[in-house]
Amino acid sequence: MAQNARLQGLGILVLCALLYPAMTTGQQPVLNLMPLPASVQSGAGSMGVDSSFSVAFTGYTEPRLERAGERFLRQLARQTALPLSLKPAGLAKATLVVHTEHASKEIQEVGEDENYVLEVTTAGAKLTAPTPLGAMHGLQTFLQLVDVSPSGFAAPALKIQDQPRFPWRGLMIDSARHFIPLDVIRRNIDGMEAVKMNVFHWHLSENQGFRVESRKYPKLHELGSDALYYTQDEIRDLIAYARDRGIRVVPEFDMPGHSTAWFVGHPELASGKGPYAIERKWGIFDPAMDPANEKVYKFLDDLIGEMARIFSDHYFHIGGDEVNGKEWDANPKIQAFMKAHGIKNNEALQAYFSGRVQKLVTKHGKTVIGWDEVLVEGVPKDIVIQSWRGQASLAKAAKQGYRGILSNGYYLDLGWSAARHYAVDPMSGDAANLSAQEKQRILGGESCMWAEYVNPENVDSRIWPRNAAIAERLWSPQEVRDAASMYARLDFVSARLEWLGLTHRSVSRHMLRRLAGSASPAEFAALRTLADVLEPVKDYTREQTAPAEPTSATPMNRVVDAVPLESDAGRRFGELVDLFVAASCHDPAAEARLRAQLATWRDNDAILQPLAQRSFLVQEVAGRSQDLAALGSAGLAALDVIAMGQPTADSWKAQQLASIDAAKKPKAQLLLIPAPAVQKLIEAVTAGGACASPKP
């Protein structure tokens, strides 16, 4: 890759960029950029940003750039509350000059030039880019550079040369399981722009809903959506909105499985007898399209044609995942068809179906993208594989000549930490051993927001801020992987994202208010103290531990719905314990902070319990509150032993560990995040009452 070659030449600068946040102390400006640019050369001083700040565009220009400029100024005004003029300035007067060389493609393509160079001096700033895509990325970088300083708002003097590592950097939102209104989609697209993602993958059909107006087959949305769908005009607007932000929109119509909602209006497409109703539960279901029925292909030809005219992107996602084959097995006509055509098994039958659909998509001028399962022998080489299975299957596809993107490891709904997502690299595992040519086939990745347990209220908080870490993984050089630096910058970027209207930070407090009813201020504070260290159970545990089978009508008003998927307070406590133990427990400042935190937790339960008596939704976490109190007490006991240097009875450690056993187990589908750290504290206590750092 040309990019990589260029990157090596910039090695030292990249390193500078990596170290910068950690290096800077005191009054030095911190570069809170995310994603981190390919190269940063820091300069001296900074450029003030005041009410006279203005932007001029030179070189190639187009209305989209002008709109980007106005949006940039609006955003800068929001960040600073400065009364900026939104009108473009004359070149001589402008404080930021944006020079664009030429147009990008009318329909944005994979691998278009997104590079930019941003130079900030004390006198002004210049942004140059080959295309509007690069210019827009550079504007976002500038927004992240502007911060409050001792003398006003300012951007540090520096030179950034930047380009993406991967050309496909996506976020998938499932708005089929739970409908997500357009205003929520739009603000998430704003968030994507801020972190330089460039593909919005829109999962539009599912067992639980068909979310697009079809004029050709209106029963699809009329009977398959509970009246929750996007009109064609709305979709066209959304695509224009995304294009304005350098973002492609790839629609997904999942077939032949995941398609119950289609069959409510069109049972003739299905392999089973019907009638069908919109699915209300979650899971993998039997209904699947009938690959043996020619009318299905006629129907799909019409529908794909209609949708291909609305969705302008060159790629069209046909899903293809998780067909259990039960309806096929039970249908004699399908069995006869398989026999007649020498189709040996259901996998081959799906391959036949995918092949037919792929031809239809090609006929309508698009390239197919699908989940792992669509990759079967004989599929044309131009399709793109989206891997939910992992780097191994991605590498296998690349070896066979297929392009692919990674989603395994980027499922936002599984509740992983930002650090865990961040550690997943499309080029790791089997992919690391590919040839240069094969590596080029790995286009990037997509984070996925599956929507069983998200709704318009809390979806932002399930996507952000963790999605910004994935965005960095896909944009920044592979060497950028220090989790501590990532978290420091993420905290800043996360706060900034709320200026775009995203609610990922504020919604938790809002939802806790609902739980808390007429709580006193002290009770509400106690609820927040508890909620701050809780996380929903991970992976697919929520399904497995549900008190009653969840459906799309299950209210999402519980603590598990309200707390963020990653607990900042829990993570910070863990870091503090690590620091303390690493210092052989001789760190009075850390000890004081630990004691304060542990005492708060120990005493919190007494404040919270009266509220739990009054609210069934708080009652659900009353046990977790007691567990947190136990953690507080056990942690303090360990600190006391260490402080006294008092030898403990053999049984002491076992007793303490037993006392926090309950805290370590999930309850109310919630994990108590500080439990392992308190355990570490207890385990650090030696029999002699000293403190032993654990082995590295």
When binding is defined by CB under 8 A, the residue of 362, 619, 655, 686 that contacts its own copies is 619
The DSSP result for 438-460, as a single string, is HHTTEEEEEEEE--TT--TTTHH
Residues 3-42 that bind its own copies (CB under 8 A): 26-27, 30, 32
Q: How far is the CB of 376 from its own copies (least distance, A)?
A: 40
Q: How far is the CB of 297 from its own copies (least distance, A)?
A: 37
CB closer to its own copies out of 363 and 513: 513
Q: Does 123 bind its own copies (CB under 8 A)?
A: no
CB closer to its own copies out of 612 and 681: 612
Q: Does 457 bind its own copies (CB under 8 A)?
A: yes
Strand partners, 202: 173, 251
When binding is defined by CB under 8 A, the residue of 2, 44, 92, 553 that contacts its own copies is 553
When binding is defined by CB under 8 A, the residue of 41, 149, 232, 324 that contacts its own copies is 149
CB closer to its own copies out of 392 and 592: 592
Q: What is the dihedral of CA 585, 588, 591, 596, to 10 degrees?
A: 170
When binding is defined by CB under 8 A, the residue of 301, 302, 498, 532 that contacts its own copies is 498
Rounded to whole angstroms, how far apart are CA atoms 458 and 438?
Answer: 39
Rounded to whole angstroms, how far apart are CA atoms 317 and 361?
Answer: 9
Q: Which stretch binds its own copies (CB under 8 A): 147-155, 256-264, 476-484, 659-667?
A: 147-155
**Which residues neighbour 400 within 8 Å (Cβ) at sequence distance 6 or greater?**
375
CB closer to its own copies out of 67 and 514: 514
When binding is defined by CB under 8 A, the residue of 8, 151, 544, 651 that contacts its own copies is 151
Q: CB atoms < 10 A from the CB of 595, how many?
A: 16
CB closer to its own copies out of 56 and 82: 82
CB closer to its own copies out of 29 and 320: 29
Q: Does 545 bind its own copies (CB under 8 A)?
A: no
Q: What is the dihedral of CA 278, 282, 286, 290, to 10 degrees?
A: 50
Q: How far is the CB of 332 from its own copies (least distance, A)?
A: 40
Considering the candidates 70, 101, 234, 322, report the single residue annotated as catalytic.
322
Q: What is the dihedral of CA 260, 266, 271, 272, to 10 degrees?
A: 80
Kindly tell me the sign of the dihedral angle through the C-alpha atoms of 89, 91, 97, 101.
positive
Q: Which stretch binds its own copies (CB under 8 A): 295-303, 347-355, 506-514, 630-638?
A: 506-514
**252 flagged as catalytic:** no
Q: How far is the CB of 263 from its own copies (least distance, A)?
A: 23
Is-contact 281 104, C-beta < 8 A? Answer: no
Q: How many residues bind its own copies (CB under 8 A)?
A: 46
Q: Which stretch binds its own copies (CB under 8 A): 235-243, 419-427, 462-470, 513-521?
A: 513-521
Rounded to whole angstroms, how far apart are CA atoms 155 and 18?
Answer: 19
Cα 616 to Cα 174, 452, 559, 613: the distances in Å are 30, 23, 11, 7
Q: Does 690 bind its own copies (CB under 8 A)?
A: no
Rounded to whole angstroms, how far apart are CA atoms 457 and 181?
Answer: 10
**Which residues neighbour 177 within 8 Å (Cβ) at sequence distance 6 or greater?**
206, 208, 209, 282, 450, 451, 452, 552
CB closer to its own copies out of 90 and 555: 555
Q: Does 693 bind its own copies (CB under 8 A)?
A: no
Is-contact 624 672, C-beta < 8 A? Answer: yes
When binding is defined by CB under 8 A, the residue of 114, 147, 244, 472 that contacts its own copies is 147
Binding flags for its own copies, 71-110, as an x/- string (CB under 8 A) = --------xxxxx---------------------------
When binding is defined by CB under 8 A, the residue of 517, 550, 666, 689 that contacts its own copies is 517
CB closer to its own copies out of 280 and 344: 280
CB closer to its own copies out of 22 and 658: 22
CB closer to its own copies out of 305 and 610: 610
Strand partners, 384: 369, 403
Q: What is the dihedral of CA 175, 178, 180, 181, to 10 degrees?
A: 120
When binding is defined by CB under 8 A, the residue of 4, 51, 433, 545 that contacts its own copies is 51
Residues 303-342 that bind its own copies (CB under 8 A): none
When binding is defined by CB under 8 A, the residue of 63, 275, 547, 555 that contacts its own copies is 555
Closest by CA position to 673, among listed 557, 555, 576: 576
Q: Does 506 bind its own copies (CB under 8 A)?
A: yes
Q: Which stretch binds its own copies (CB under 8 A): 298-306, 353-361, 555-563, 638-646?
A: 555-563
CB closer to its own copies out of 32 and 260: 32
Rounded to whole angstroms, how far apart are CA atoms 678 and 657?
Answer: 9
The DSSP result for 117-174, as a single string, is EEEE-SS-EEEEESSHHHHHHHHHHHHHH-EEETTEEEEEEEEEEE--S-SEEEEEEE
Closest by CA position to 464, among listed 144, 135, 30, 34: 34
Strand locations in 419-524, DSSP E? 442-449
Q: Which stretch binds its own copies (CB under 8 A): 149-157, 192-200, 573-581, 646-654?
A: 149-157
CB closer to its own copies out of 228 and 423: 228
Placement of tokens 């009108």 in the chain: 87
When binding is defined by CB under 8 A, the residue of 62, 479, 491, 661 that contacts its own copies is 491
Rounded to whole angstroms, how far apart are CA atoms 210 and 261?
Answer: 6
Residues 373-402 that bind its own copies (CB under 8 A): none
Q: How far is the CB of 34 from its own copies (least distance, A)?
A: 12
Phi, psi (5° rounding) for residue 404? -155, 160
Rounded to whole angstroms, how far apart are CA atoms 467 and 169?
Answer: 11
Residues 559-618 that bind its own copies (CB under 8 A): 561, 568, 572, 610, 613-618
Q: Does 52 bind its own copies (CB under 8 A)?
A: no
Q: Does 295 bind its own copies (CB under 8 A)?
A: no
Q: How far is the CB of 168 from its own copies (least distance, A)?
A: 31
**Which residues neighbour 172 within 8 Å (Cβ) at sequence distance 6 or greater?**
201, 202, 203, 252, 407, 446, 447, 448, 449
Burial of 476 (0-12, 13-18, 19+ CB in 10 A): buried
Q: How far is the CB of 185 from its own copies (least distance, A)?
A: 19
Please, what is the end-to-end C-alpha distance for the chain in angstroms? 38
Residues that bind its own copies (CB under 8 A): 26-27, 30, 32, 51, 79-83, 147-152, 457, 491-492, 495, 498, 506, 510-511, 513-518, 521, 553, 555-557, 561, 568, 572, 610, 613-619
Q: Would you please indicate which residues are annotated as catalytic (active-site) residues?
A: 322
